[in-house]
Amino acid sequence: MASIHPPKPSSGGISGSTIIIVIVAGVLLILGGVLIGTLTPQLFPPPASAEAKPVDDLFHISLVIGGAIFLLVQGMLVFSIIRFRAKPGDTSDGAYIHGSTTLEIVWTAIPAVIVVVLTILSWQVFDTIFTPKPDEAKVFAAGARFNWAFTYDVPLSIMPEQVDLTKLPEDVRADVEADGLLSVTSPILYTYVGQPVVMEMEPKDVIHAFWIPAFRLKQDLIPGRTTSIRFTPTIAGTYPIECAELCGANHGLMRSEVVVLDNEQGFNQMMVPMMDEKIHPPADPVLRGRKILSSNVYPCYTCHVLSDLTEAPQPWAGNVGPALNGIADRVASSRASATGQTPAEYLYTAVHEPSAYLVPGYGALMPQLNIPECDAWAIVAYLATQSESGSAPFEVTQPAQCVITDTGAAAPSSEATVEAAPTGEATVEPTPAS
C-alpha cells in the first residue's frame, strides 16, 4: 500500500483576510435573508384571529433564516460553477482535499443552533395557541361527507319575547330543560370579535380536517374521538372554512364559512331566527321537512340531487348518491316492495339507518347522521311529496310525539295545510307536560 496522501492543507492558520471575508459574507447573507423575509409579498390570507399573528411572525423568522441558508447554498453553488469550472483542455484534477474538521464542526453546529432556536420559538407559539382561555364559548362541530354543521347552545333569554316553555315541541323542551340552553345548528360558523371559542368536533363518517386559513388553525376530526380547536377571532368578516383531509369524491367542495360578527349583539341577531324556527316549527310536517332539508344543516345536498329545493343556500346537486327527484314514485312502485316495508317505513329506514337497504348500484356510503326521530319523520313526509304528480302517492303517518300543534309560526301556505291534513292522524293535542 504505497499510496501517499499528500499533507492535508493546514486548517490551523486562518489568515486575517479569511476572517474578514467570512464576516462580510455572513452579514450579507443575514441581510439577504431579512430582505427575502420582508420583501416577500403577503403570503398568507389576511390574519383574522389572535392565533394568526404569532404563527405569521414565526414563519417570517423561519423565512429570514431559510432565506439566508438558501442564499448561502445557491451563492456557493453559483460561485463554484463560475470559479471552479474546468477550462477547455484542462486535464488536471482538483485539489486533493478530504475535508476540514473545523468546517465540518461549524456546519454541524450552526444548523443545530438554528433548529434549537426554531424549536423553542415554535414551542412558545404552540403554548399560546393551545392554552385554554378564560370564558371560552363552546361550539360543537360535526363533519360529514361533504358539509359542516355547527351547533351552539344559546340561552333562551336572548329571544326578544318571553318563551312559554310549555308550548315548545317536546324535543325542544327537553333540550332546554336539560341545561337552560337551546341547541341550534347552522351550516355556517358564527362567532364574534374578541370571543375565545373552544370547538369540539366529531366526524359522522370518515376523517375530516377543519381548517380556517385566515385563522391559521387546523384540526382533524377522527371517528371515535372528540377533538377540539381553540381560536379567538379579532377582525369581523367572512372567511372560508375548508376540509383539509381527503374525505371522498366531493372533498374539494366540503367548504363553509366562518362569519365573525362585530359583537355579541350581532351574534345574537344571527341566533334568534334559528332559535325561532326551533321554537315555532311549522305544524305541517311536509313544510317542516322541507325547511330542515333546505337549511343545509345535514350534508344530504352534497351527494343527492333534488331540484325542488331551490331556496337552499347550497344547491342540491350532488352526484354521489341516487337522485331524489321523483323519489316518492320509485319508493311506491318498487323500492318498498323490494324490502317488504310500507313506502313510509322504507323512506324512514333510508333516512335513519342508511345502510339497511342499498339502492342497486350504490355502496354503503351514506353515514349514520343521527337525525332526531321527529326531524326524520318530517323529512319523510316531505320526500313523499316528491313525485311526478306533485302529491304524495302514499300516506306518511307522523308518530304521536312528533305531531306539533301550531306554536305560532308564520301561517303556512294553505296548500301545505290541505296536503298535510290527511297525514296528521294523531289527534292534535298538546302532549302532557311533565
In the window 332-391, what residues touch another protein (CB under 8 A)? Answer: 363-365
Q: How far is the CB of 33 from another protein (least distance, A)?
A: 11
List of residues 6+ apart from 29 with CB closer than 8 A:
68, 71, 72, 75
Q: At 430, which amino acid appears?
A: P
Alpha carbon of 314 to those of 165, 307, 308, 382: distances in Å? Answer: 33, 12, 13, 19
**Smallest gap, in angstroms, from Cβ of residue 94 to another protein?**
3
DSSP element (H, E) containing 158:
none
Instruction: Examine residue 53 and tell whether it contacts another protein (CB under 8 A).
Output: no
For residues 264-293, which are near another protein according to CB under 8 A? Answer: none
Q: Is 195 helix (H, G, I), strand (E, B) or coil?
A: coil
Contact pick of 25, 159, 188, 207 for another protein (by CB under 8 A): 207
Which part of the chain contacts another protein (CB under 8 A), choosing from 178-186, 192-200, 213-221, 323-331? 213-221
Taking the C-alpha atoms of residue 361 and residue 336, their distance in angstroms, rounded to an integer, is 17
| Binding-site member from 216, 288, 290, 330 for another protein (CB under 8 A) | 216
122 is a site residue for another protein (CB under 8 A):
yes
Is position 249 an interface residue for another protein (rule: CB under 8 A)?
yes
Residue 222 near another protein by CB under 8 A = yes
Q: Which residue in the set 25, 28, 118, 198 belongs to the binding site for another protein (CB under 8 A)?
A: 118
Q: Rounded to whole angstroms, how far apart are CA atoms 326 and 334? A: 13
Question: Least distance to another protein from the beta carbon of 58, Å?
Answer: 6
74-103 residues in contact with another protein (CB under 8 A) are 74, 76-77, 80-81, 84-86, 89-100, 103
CB neighbour list of residue 150: distance below 8 Å, 6 or more residues apart = 139, 140, 141, 185, 186, 187, 188, 189, 190, 199
105/35 Cα distance (integer angstroms): 28
- Grid cell at residue 28: 450579507
Contact between 323 and another protein per CB under 8 A: no
A 10 A CB-CB count for 313 gives 10
- How would DSSP label each residue in 91-108? ----------HHHHHHHH
Here's the x/- map for another protein, 387-416, by CB under 8 A: it reads as: ------------------------------
> Toward another protein, which CB reaches closer, 296 or 302?
302
Q: How far is the CB of 344 from another protein (least distance, A)?
A: 27
**Of positions 111, 313, 315, 422, contacts another protein by CB under 8 A:** 111
